[in-house]
Chain A
């Protein structure tokens, strides 16, 4: 039993945190969001620190890292509300086990995203209507993917589609699809992806690998949410200590003290489940045990994210509603993370079925 990061993990998390503190404060983030939605400079720095190579296997120039290796990074991203599409890259990379593209990924030159979700899917893994048909030596895809986070910045997409044998995975050049890009409620960039006879290359893996990748991604979402909740708790605590009404800091009022304590407990309980989620996807547990632990973690993360974010805004009063404060942006990110790869209801159903 040991809840520490190892030395390498700690060093990486520290260096990411230092970079974000120096170059990715709330003002810097605002400029990125107002621009194209991701910063080439930040991306290059992340690559420099080795983040892009982290999920890539050693044979392709990466580090072959697991979820615990990424946990500290994701937590730091959560605290700083990083908008660069790193998580979509990690997911796509997990599925693209062997490709000449991976060396470009490691260097930060190539961006990938996972295009799996479709309209009305409600987090169901099997709700894939996009069709894949063989044409000559390759494949063509026909269908629509919805709300693909990271697609506007991506060079290639890993796409799930159905052929006669079930769900299969494909690699598609972004030039072969048409995108309807937009800004999400949490200021990330996503797109609906139209696949109209898009040429595609079949890659290894199907439904099982997709589920594994999404469980891996869910563990990372848990870690990122813990970071965002940590920020929300700390900034709210600071506000309670500095905001004065009736001649005293509002943190002197027990009604608010107890609510702050409950936020803090939610954060700690969520952190425990993020530890579980990241450890379990790295370890040798059975597929069912992993799925059950991931769903348990996501139930807690979803509940805690909702609780902490809503209370953070409430305890800030009117200021919590404004664009001006970072807390309202954390609120939006946590609202999305609570639902990413399945909301609490989805995971309650999955947890009970296992």
Chain B
């Protein structure tokens, strides 16, 4: 048993770390560290810096621009980005849509979309949730009717993150309302956001930020070549995607950075044993989560198997820790202070409540573990 990274892994981490020190623009890092708003240009600038280095899509096959790193190296890379205060790599294109195209797309679809995703030419968003279909995603109603060489799409998506930046959206739509198993009537469609009939309406959240949207589809014509996998196989695609990138939901690196920041910012609170003990408990949970995450990686590497359903605990614990750190930061802030950092901390506290709701609420994650891991 050895909890330390190997010499090679440590060298890799140091390489990533020193590259980040030299190449992560200071203004972007400061925005992230001060909980500032990242514009589309900010996100794309960072995306293109990584693309130029060849590191924007490590998980892709090498022929499409992947790095050939193993799971441990990919984990180290992700956590170093979080630790350094890099803007997030928007996952909808690079991580999600690309994973689907690589697994289910035709050669033509791969050639058409992957290079543009890699270079940051197309900004993607994800059309899954609907007003009546949140946790119960398979009940979705947005309808796509085949008419010759195109589908006619009508319906509505909600919680569509960064749809107002997006050039493209990938959507789950209902192509057959008459099947017995409702999952079988769902298909996976790619749509150009400029197509007539698509309307984006902002949903302002309680922190005052514009991050999510409603997206409306009124007689939107989508060419059939934008269907991924077979008609009616959308649920297979969605399930594949769900299991694909659950390994970096712990956000250990980012939480380590927040913890260090908190200790520095709240040094005046350390004499308060009640506050300090709360901080220590979050730190202990984070250490435990980091080791738990490494145990999952070690298992994946040894068995060469994809992660099991039990990795859902990384999302549950990771988000609880993120919220815990944010709440401690809020409590260390003078309630009367109106300086920019105090304001930003308050906004962040409001905003971070989303983490236990999004990407499959933590209750859904518990359902998954109960059913798949515990057999309940």
Q: Which residues of A contact B (CB under 8 A)?
A: 1-6, 68, 71, 237, 240-241, 251-252, 254, 257-258, 260-262, 264-265, 268-273, 275-276, 278-279, 296, 299-300, 303, 345, 348-349, 351-352
Contact = CB atoms under 8 A, between A and B. Distances in A.
B287 A273 contact: yes
Given A348-B277, A352-B280, A257 B370 contact: yes
Contacts of B313: 264-265, 268
A349 B294 CA distance: 28
B369 interface: yes
Contact of B3 (A1, A254, A352): A1
Contacts of B283: 296
Given A254-B367, A299-B280, A303-B281, A1 B374 contact: no
Interface in B251-271: 270
Contacts of B285: 269, 300
Contacts of B298: 1-4
17 contacts: A1-B72, A2-B1, A3-B295, A254-B370, A257-B376, A264-B313, A265-B317, A268-B292, A269-B289, A272-B289, A272-B292, A273-B284, A275-B291, A278-B1, A296-B283, A299-B284, A348-B280
Q: Is the interface of A mostly helix, strand, loop or mixed?
A: helix
Interface stretch (B4-12, B25-33, B146-154, B164-172): B4-12
In the A-B complex, list the 10 residue pairs whose CB atoms are closest, starting with the nearest: A272-B291, A257-B370, A269-B288, A261-B366, A251-B376, A272-B292, A258-B366, A261-B369, A348-B277, A272-B288
The winner among A6, A241, A258 for most chain B CB atoms within 10 A is: A258
Contacts of B208: none
A352 B291 CA distance: 21
Interface of B: 1-6, 9, 72, 270, 273, 276-277, 280-281, 283-285, 287-289, 291-292, 294-295, 297-299, 302, 310, 313, 316-317, 363, 366-367, 369-370, 373-376
Given A2-B1, A68-B1, A348-B277, A241 B369 contact: no
Given A265-B313, A303-B281, A351-B280, A237 B374 contact: yes
A352 B283 CA distance: 11
B2 A241 contact: no
B374 A264 contact: yes
A273 B287 CA distance: 8
Nearest to B313: A265
Contacts of A275: 1, 3, 291, 295
A268 B302 CA distance: 19
A261 B292 CA distance: 15
A349 B373 CA distance: 36
Given A2-B2, A275-B1, A279-B2, A264 B291 contact: no
